[in-house]
């Protein structure tokens, strides 16, 4: 009986260690992905400020076109 309990305890410890390791890897990846998304978002915001970038609007027919009041043309 003691051998069975010892095996169950050892298996529980092993699975617990694996679960904690997977959890830590998952959290580290999530932080990295969030940092990359923030960096891309900041780059996009800076790019939108440039004068040669046109913001397109979707018309009623679904086609993207520059706004009517665009004075850069």
User: pLDDT for 3-62, tens place per residue?
Assistant: 999 999 999 999 999 999 999 999 999 999 999 999 999 999 898 888 888 888 888 888
Q: Does residue 14 lie within any of the structural domains?
A: yes
Q: Is the pLDDT of residue 72 over 70?
A: no
pTM (2 d.p.)? 0.51
Q: How many domains does the chain have?
A: 1
Is 52 among the domain residues?
yes
Q: What is the structure's pLDDT at 70?
A: 61
d(CA 48, CA 29): 29
Q: How far apart are CA 38 and CA 32, in angstroms?
A: 10
Domain that holds residue 59: 2-65
pLDDT value of residue 71 = 63
């Amino acid at each position: 009986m003691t051998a069975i309990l010892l095996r169950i305890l050892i298996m529980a410890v092993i699975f617990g260690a694996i679960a904690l390791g997977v959890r830590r890897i998952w959290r580290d990846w999530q932080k990295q992905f969030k940092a990359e998304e923030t960096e891309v978002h900041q780059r996009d915001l800076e790019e939108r400020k440039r004068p040669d970038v046109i913001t397109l609007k979707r018309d009623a027919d679904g086609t993207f076109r520059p706004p009517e009041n665009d004075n850069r043309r």
